[in-house]
Structure 1
Amino acid sequence: MFSLIVSTLLLCSVEVLPSSGPTGHLLPFGNHRRPSVVVDEFTKESIPRPSDFYEKYVKPSKAALFRGAITDTRAFNLWTDSYIREKFGDNEVRLEGKKEKKHLPPVGEKYIGRDNLRHFVDNYHKEDSNVYIVSDLPRPMYNDVGVLPSVGACGEMGRKIVEVDIWWSGGGSSSIIHKDAFNQINCLVNGTKYWKLIEYKYEGNLYKHVEAQEGYGGFSDVNPSRVDLIKFPKVKDIEWSNVTVNAGDCLYLPKSYYHQVESAGDNNLAVSLLISRFDGRDSLDFSDCTDETDYKTPKTLDKFGVQLVWKGTGTMVMGRVDLEDGYRKEFLELTEDAEQRNTQLDFETFAETFEDEDVMLTGDIKTGFKIMDKNNDGYLTRSEVQSLTLQDLQSISDELEPYEPSNSYDFEYSIISFDMVWKLINRLKKEVKVLSSNRWEKAYIREGGTIDKARELFENLAKGKEDIFTHELLPIDMWNAMDKWVKYWAPQYSGLPERPTKKALGIIDDDEDYYVHEYDEL
């Protein structure tokens, strides 16, 4: 089970210049041909019932637009900067930089890649601001959010909301071309969004980026602001949709549907509901839908059993797997396999499914197993897995989910990577004979880190001294000072091929011959 890394969207302005070559060459995506795929639109009066919405849109993976769907909700009518600051200011959110894959996440009031809403509201309109909230929606905000009746009025879809996210910036952003893992209802509270939609069947034309761990999500290597049709010739055959979403509207985006988004307005805020994929399902349960059901009024989100709930502080849950498909279904398969072999599923066999030694878990395997082992007999049965409640599954996820650095307060130890810090220390050793705390802090912060982590590392290196005499600073001293950078090392943020080791760095505890190491990068 691997955490689904949810792609972050962001913005830059592009000057459109004439191009030579194929139609649309070196111009923004969409200039290769006019949009031709129609997206059906609904009003509050014509909104489809959940069963019809599933059969006509969710099941066949067809996008749909709901005009004015949330104009009667508290979020649409109350969510001003001042209201959010006063009512939800202490809640924390995840931050991205505005230019995806080009910048480190900004530093919030205290942490890299994380801020509280009070501090965000006070700063996101500043001219030099690079902050963009791409985060789990804090649980205290659920009461203000309305759920589209085509999903939440009744039926199984409303019971399969996996995650709820908030997207908020000062506008002017533009995303990469990408796809998300789950079915999505994206409702715009403020601003305007311009969506370019591409059906999944065109994935082969989009030159999907090759990733070490393939999941349901993903992104294209095509630059949407300047499409090179010589390098990526198949793009010219893509048919697409052009959709403008205004404040109060909701867009249904099917699972794995590629899209590119531009955000306009000085306050652009959206809430996105991620709903199960329903892979392999021919039908869903709508038995609670009756003629007495209110099919027009959005219910508030707090009335629903969302799988992955972010309470507003602590470890976030963004990008985790569907608890039903990723945990209950998988564990049922394990117990059924044991039954077929006339054996019982004990802890040792269960733990073998997590045998990748270099994948750190959020919690503890034994604790996760004990949550499921209801009678404490040391074995896991099919009936025990079937009896797991939503709260059980949430607790299991807290233990067994692979550690995702960006969801943690310890994110900085990963994104300001071991190799980045190691090279910085070695550079300063060459530049100065005496390294002061002030010189070190300025250098570390220029790399994108925080003052707190800069001071922590200096204290580890200085060992109680005010300054560091750099000729006395040995690689073993650097290694010992950087233990957390080793522990939280993550391949996606590092230039190293594997987690650093003393052996690979040529560090020998009882020998001062440190000149041989395996990492040319360092």
Structure 2
Amino acid sequence: MPPMHIEERKDFPNPIEFYDNYVAPGKPVLFKGAAKQFPSYNNWKNDTYLREKYGGLTVMAETAKKEDRNNPVKPMNFSTFLSIYEEEDIYLVQDVAPPRPITEEMFVPKSLLCRGFMDFLNMALLWFSSGGTKSVLHNDSFENINCLFDGTKELIMIDRKHKELVPIDHLERGYSFVDVERVDMYKYPTLSKLPWYIANMDTGDCLYIPRNWYHHVKSSLTRNLAINLWWLFRSELKHRDECEKSLADLPEFDCLNKFRIKSGVKIEHVIFDKVFEESNSTTSTNLLKSVIPLLSSDMTRDDRIEYLTKLKRYFTEADTNEDSLLTREEVEASSVEILLPFLKKGAEKELINEYQKDEL
């Protein structure tokens, strides 16, 4: 099946248009050349500038450019990375959320300059290598705008509505071992029926990747540097009236260091991710079905029954308006400590790491 192409446009829409036309329906869009307007655009291409100004920044580097989620990461200062990245099989993946000084080089596009987005901004990440990086096929629960400042990227993307056809080998971690460049159709026969998209990013492009869209990313064999912003999805645009009133005076971009990012991943975002994949609320039955795969294989039948009984009790307590539906907001306002003792050994750490490691 030949690929379909992602919609392209040259400008960032205002926040209302962006939410209504792209975020709400879960529709990716490629903003061609949109990052070139940022004042720091050329700074990201200059290793000498980056070393002189931010060389002392401590960064984390993955020890291979082909993604293996079991590989360790290595701390070093930015200056050291800049000295070795062209020769070594290494890939910088660094959270650069404020108040780190380097955020003065980062800009938030007009599309997100509204409380309905910025109040839920979760992470800003810098991705930097000499090129040739490849990701696994995976999805993420966060909304994502990625801007490319050097190199090119090719993304293979699959709509989340086709999730039943996507061969996810690691369900709890949301990724697959399938080699999308040389697909084994005997092992993964559903892929032959799967509609897919292709997005080609050039230097200066920005791409919106909707939450839970599956994607694989391959970078060019040249210096590659990108920055992405992650935020939490909401089923409606919060503070919409306030946002609409501000449209007339909205700038094309604003500096990231003016904003506060609520960095980090809450365990409820990990455990309840699949529950709220298609809806802002869930029933007790769906909640149980989503958590069961995370239970330890060492649990006895009686332990499982006891745990699920406690989980039902949690549902009742968290459902504050007593409508027999649990919403994202109710989950985030409640305690989820009941879940932690029953996760597979190491699962909490592994799952959270998946939200802090991506390919772009």
TM-score with structure 1 length normalisation? 0.51
Partners of 1:68 and 1:175 in 2: CA distance: 24
2:136 aligned residue? 176
Query: Within the alignment, does 1:86 sit opposite 2:52 as a pair?
Result: yes
SS at match of 2:151: strand
Match among 134, 144, 148 for residue 105 of structure 2 = 144
Match among 161, 175, 192 for residue 152 of structure 2 = 192
Amino acid in the other structure paired with 1:56: N
Aligned 8 A contact 2:145 2:209 in 1: yes
| Residues 282-361 of structure 1 mapped to structure 2, 5 A cutoff | 282-289=236-243, 290=245, 293-295=248-250, 297-308=252-263, 317=264, 353=338, 356=341
Aligned 8 A contact 1:75 1:189 in 2: no
SS at match of 1:48: coil
Amino acid in the other structure paired with 2:205: D
- Which entry has the higher C-alpha Rg, 1 or 2? 1
Match among 19, 24, 42 for residue 77 of structure 1 = 42
Aligned 8 A contact 2:67 2:133 in 1: no
Aligned 8 A contact 2:134 2:216 in 1: yes
Instruction: Identify unmatched segments of 5+ residues in structure 1.
Output: 1-32, 106-111, 309-316, 341-348, 362-400, 408-522
| Residues 224-263 of structure 1 mapped to structure 2, 5 A cutoff | 224-263=180-219
SS at match of 1:256: coil
Deviations, residues 16-71 of structure 1 (Å, cap 9, x unaligned) = xxxxxxxxxxxxxxxxx2112x4222213xx3211111111101110011122221
Aligned-residue Cα RMSD (Å) equals 3.4
User: Aligned pair in 2 of structure 1 residues 238, 351: CA closer, same or farther (>3 Å)?
Assistant: closer
Query: Within the alignment, does 1:35 sit opposite 2:3 as a pair?
Result: yes
Partners of 2:33 and 2:250 in 1: CA distance: 15
Partners of 2:130 and 2:103 in 1: CA distance: 22
2:165 aligned residue? 205
Partners of 2:335 and 2:215 in 1: CA distance: 39
User: Aligned pair in 2 of structure 1 residues 193, 353: CA closer, same or farther (>3 Å)?
Assistant: same
Query: Within the alignment, does 1:53 sit opposite 2:18 as a pair?
Result: yes
Partners of 1:297 and 1:351 in 2: CA distance: 40
User: Aligned pair in 2 of structure 1 residues 230, 101: CA closer, same or farther (>3 Å)?
Assistant: same
User: Aligned pair in 2 of structure 1 residues 249, 294: CA closer, same or farther (>3 Å)?
Assistant: farther
Amino acid in the other structure paired with 1:35: P
2:176 aligned residue? 220
User: Aligned pair in 2 of structure 1 residues 203, 172: CA closer, same or farther (>3 Å)?
Assistant: same
User: Aligned pair in 2 of structure 1 residues 406, 203: CA closer, same or farther (>3 Å)?
Assistant: closer
How much has 1:258 moved relative to structure 2?
A: 0.7
Partners of 1:355 and 1:194 in 2: CA distance: 38
TM-score with structure 2 length normalisation? 0.72
1:167 aligned residue? 127
Partners of 1:356 and 1:100 in 2: CA distance: 30
SS at match of 2:49: helix
Query: Within the alignment, does 1:65 sit opposite 2:33 as a pair?
Result: no
Aligned length: 297
User: Aligned pair in 2 of structure 1 residues 68, 193: CA closer, same or farther (>3 Å)?
Assistant: same
SS at match of 2:103: helix
Deviations, residues 217-270 of structure 1 (Å, cap 9, x unaligned) = 511232112101122111011111111111211100000101111111532011
User: Aligned pair in 2 of structure 1 residues 295, 354: CA closer, same or farther (>3 Å)?
Assistant: same
Partners of 2:225 and 2:267 in 1: CA distance: 23
Partners of 1:189 and 1:321 in 2: CA distance: 33
Aligned 8 A contact 2:167 2:178 in 1: yes
Partners of 1:298 and 1:142 in 2: CA distance: 14
Identity among equivalent pairs (%): 30
Aligned 8 A contact 2:267 2:352 in 1: no
Moved more, 229-238 or 182-191: 229-238
Instruction: Identify unmatched segments of 5+ residues in structure 2.
Output: 274-280, 282-313, 323-333, 354-360
Moved more, 51-60 or 132-141: 132-141
How much has 1:406 moved relative to structure 2?
A: 9.8
User: Aligned pair in 2 of structure 1 residues 336, 104: CA closer, same or farther (>3 Å)?
Assistant: closer
Query: Within the alignment, does 1:157 sit opposite 2:113 as a pair?
Result: no
Aligned 8 A contact 1:173 1:263 in 2: yes
Deviations, residues 100-120 of structure 1 (Å, cap 9, x unaligned) = 228733xxxxxx522221110
Amino acid in the other structure paired with 2:102: M
Amino acid in the other structure paired with 2:198: N
Amino acid in the other structure paired with 1:101: D
Higher strand share: 2
User: Aligned pair in 2 of structure 1 residues 189, 222: CA closer, same or farther (>3 Å)?
Assistant: same
Amino acid in the other structure paired with 2:7: D
User: Aligned pair in 2 of structure 1 residues 246, 352: CA closer, same or farther (>3 Å)?
Assistant: closer
| Residues 7-18 of structure 1 mapped to structure 2, 5 A cutoff | none
Partners of 1:134 and 1:120 in 2: CA distance: 11
User: RCO (CA 8 Å, sep 6+): is it higher in 1 or 2?
Assistant: 2
